[in-house]
A and B are shown apart, each in its own frame.
Chain A
């Protein structure tokens, strides 16, 4: 496939992610931070996010599995997850966290468990999307092209 084609695919794909709400304006901020001195910045940050979030999700699973749930602890984890997901622009994950926190506040275990499932789902979906995105980018770079900057009306 030609580089131009891949680039076009990337642009389209990225746009669709925005449209669907997977990504928000914060992701653009990240992209703007990427430059020649740091060509893999976005990929690095995103992968860092997913590694870190995985740990948080595990902690959450364990915490909610306790006979007596420590909601404060659960809330702290969710809060952090919310913060980091919002920082990379993973909007759906962030929104799921917000809902999760509401249930924590009222100490609703069922609600929390449901939310946890939701967050996990969003997490994996987002991970998937990002991986596709980066794969496209790598293809472009491998073909000698440059990654096109997305012009969004944010």
Chain B
């Protein structure tokens, strides 16, 4: 449909095949906002007709609808068919706010509410339900002329999330290109659209239909697939294994870079775990994917990992490997899988540091040793513990998780902790970090601690980082870190983000942790709060993902994430809102910038690229999830937002929370 100029934008977006090309962006820019596809829903035919005419005059592509149900089915049938929805509040068949919620959840499109009712409470309702704007009838055409801004804004945020979670490299490139464009956001939009479409088209193995870029399609990592993955990774070298290349090597139709990226993350966590580090991210990853996937992934990764790796870490690994293998693919729930890793981790704990085997680099190796110690801390978080911990020591868990889970982060940690060859570590990590959605920046944590002169911490950190590789469960890492080092809290802080793991395992540790955390945090904060923050951020993210899948108990699910919307920097919040966190991570691309700014660490910055995690670590307050309820988190989050001061412990995703809330 390129008959009218209004369609030019659409056609441009759809025609662009790959990641944004400058010319595609340019075309989109020229056309935009003309051709914006608007769906307008109102039971009043008069208003509907007027709105349609007004929108057409603005050169938008309009589809009108009398009923909310019809609108919803239209949206469902054609997930990518619309850019924005305008809906009346009072409708006979469905409340406008309900429709708003549905759209936000299922399609994640920007929705503008409108009504003749201008009462404050109604407008407030629109805000709380996630409307991106509220128009009072009679609507003037001037008000409609600028609705495109909501689309751009949302795309921009999603783009950042998207690129963070999936394609850091590509995202960076695109971002750079887009930034050169006049309408960088629209360019992103075009890119995002095309890339998303491509991804949607390519993803044959999706288990469910994801309309939002924030939700990744589920891929079942079968044994063969995982073997292919491992082969590809080993071929490339664990340090150089980036999702893109792995994907190419694997050459599996329907598999996306993101699938590989998230799997890689889990894999790394697993490796870390084997090496004694508590892979918090891995847990998240697992949780992110279906429990089965998670379990399987971890198990298979164990299997596939190589006995060598396992043996490297020590007998325990072998033991765990055996156990895991036995438990194996047969395991259907993430939970069942959990105990195994937990045990392993505990065992691992005693081992010096297996992580090196994957060639993560000397740095890692060193770290591993130390990290092992951390990992050593048995994450005695049995599934039920996990459940119990729900709101518990999130921070603790988070910390561990964070540190270990991200490849990226690990590098960070390593670099930070070790304070040596940081750039190197970073480089490695960066590659690693092109993992999918988890912009976990666990590593930073390590450093601050070490800088504090806590020798113990340093090693731990490294170890933690190493752990990240292994797709271990958060729980495991958490407990290990906690136990071994008093500084645990440091790790824990990041843990906040990892709601599931941390809460569960941590509950027992929490008291200890909290206490320690407080101390440590203060120290850390002084030293490198930034780093720490990153870690937390990373953790959070991972945690949320993992927690979802891992913990059946927690009952966190993807949807929950979406709804939670709060990631609020508090640890507590994070734990609870694990799901949200991940979402938050995606949506708040801004955080990254913030973190970077705050940290001023190049390495951190680079790591942060994907992570919007804003770690404003500071006061241990966040570490005590128990104290915070959702409202608290929300208000805290909002406060933090307002404060706009990194000074608070924000593991959080300040940026996220707000976004989430709206969702």
Contacts and interface: CB of A to CB of B under 8 A. Distances in A.
Interface of A: 26, 29-30, 32-33, 38, 41, 44-45, 48-49, 52, 76, 79-80, 82-84, 86-89
Contacts of A88: 46, 50
B629 interface: no
A76 B44 CA distance: 12
A33 B92 CA distance: 28
Given A41-B53, A45-B50, A87 B137 contact: yes
Interface stretch (B138-146, B297-305, B396-404, B509-517): B138-146
B453 interface: no
Given A45-B46, A83-B47, A86-B137, A33 B90 contact: no
B140 A33 contact: no
Given A30-B50, A45-B50, A79-B116, A87 B141 contact: no
A33 B46 contact: no
Interface string B89-107: 0101000000000000000
B54 interface: yes
B115 interface: yes
A41 B115 CA distance: 23
Contact of A33 (B44, B88, B115, B141): B141
B643 interface: no
B137 A45 contact: no
Interface string B41-76: 001111101100110010000000000000000000
Nearest to B142: A29
A79 B90 contact: yes
A18 B46 CA distance: 21
Pick from B43, B45, B46, B116 the residue with the most CB of A within 10 Å.
B46
Contacts of A44: 49
Given A52-B46, A79-B116, A87 B139 contact: yes
A84 B44 CA distance: 7
7 contacts: A29-B141, A38-B53, A45-B49, A48-B46, A52-B46, A80-B44, A84-B44
A52 B141 contact: no
Given A82-B116, A83-B115, A29 B140 contact: yes
A15 to B, nearest CB: 20
B117 interface: yes
A84 B48 CA distance: 9
Contact of A79 (B45, B49, B117): B117
Contacts of A26: 138, 140
Contacts of A48: 45-46, 49
8 tightest A-B contacts by CB?
A83-B116, A84-B46, A86-B138, A49-B46, A87-B138, A26-B138, A83-B137, A87-B47
Interface in B16-46: 43-46
Contacts of B140: 26, 29
A88 B140 CA distance: 11
Contacts of A49: 46
B576 to A, nearest CB: 37
A28 B138 CA distance: 12
Contacts of A32: 141
Contacts, number: 59
Given A29-B138, A48-B45, A79-B116, 13 more contacts: A29-B140, A29-B141, A30-B50, A52-B44, A79-B90, A83-B88, A83-B115, A83-B137, A86-B137, A86-B138, A87-B137, A87-B139, A89-B138
A80 B90 contact: yes
A76 B54 contact: no
A89 B140 CA distance: 11
Contacts of B137: 83, 86-87
Nearest to A84: B46
A32 B45 CA distance: 19
A102 to B, nearest CB: 13
A89 B88 CA distance: 19
A38 B330 CA distance: 66
B470 to A, nearest CB: 59
B46 A87 contact: yes
A48 B53 CA distance: 14
Contact of A86 (B88, B90, B116): B116
Contacts of B44: 52, 80, 83-84, 87
Contacts of A29: 54, 138, 140-141
A33 B116 contact: no
Pick from B45, B115, B117, B137 the residue with the most CB of A within 10 Å.
B137
Contacts of A82: 116
Nearest to A38: B53
Nearest to B50: A87
A45 B48 CA distance: 10
Contacts of A80: 43-44, 90
Nearest to B43: A80
A76 B139 CA distance: 19
B523 to A, nearest CB: 60
A26 B137 CA distance: 10
A110 B356 CA distance: 85
Contacts of A41: 53
A86 B50 CA distance: 11
A151 B584 CA distance: 50
Contacts of B53: 33, 38, 41, 45
Contacts of B117: 79
Interface in B104-146: 115-117, 137-141
A28 B117 CA distance: 22
Contacts of A87: 44, 46-47, 50, 137-139
A45 B50 CA distance: 7
A131 B110 CA distance: 40
A76 B90 contact: yes
A1 to B, nearest CB: 31
B118 to A, nearest CB: 11
Contacts of B90: 76, 79-80
A80 B92 CA distance: 10
A14 to B, nearest CB: 18
B434 to A, nearest CB: 50
Contacts of A76: 90, 92
A83 B45 CA distance: 11
Contacts of B46: 45, 48-49, 52, 84, 87-88
A119 to B, nearest CB: 14
A44 B54 CA distance: 14
Contact of B54 (A33, A79, A89): A33
Contacts of A84: 44, 46-47
Contacts of B45: 48, 52
A123 B44 CA distance: 17
B94 to A, nearest CB: 13
Interface in B134-176: 137-141
Interface string B171-212: 000000000000000000000000000000000000000000
A76 B137 CA distance: 15
A49 B116 CA distance: 16
A89 B138 CA distance: 8
A49 B46 CA distance: 5
B388 to A, nearest CB: 45
A33 B57 contact: yes
A83 B50 CA distance: 12
A45 B49 CA distance: 7
Nearest to B51: A87
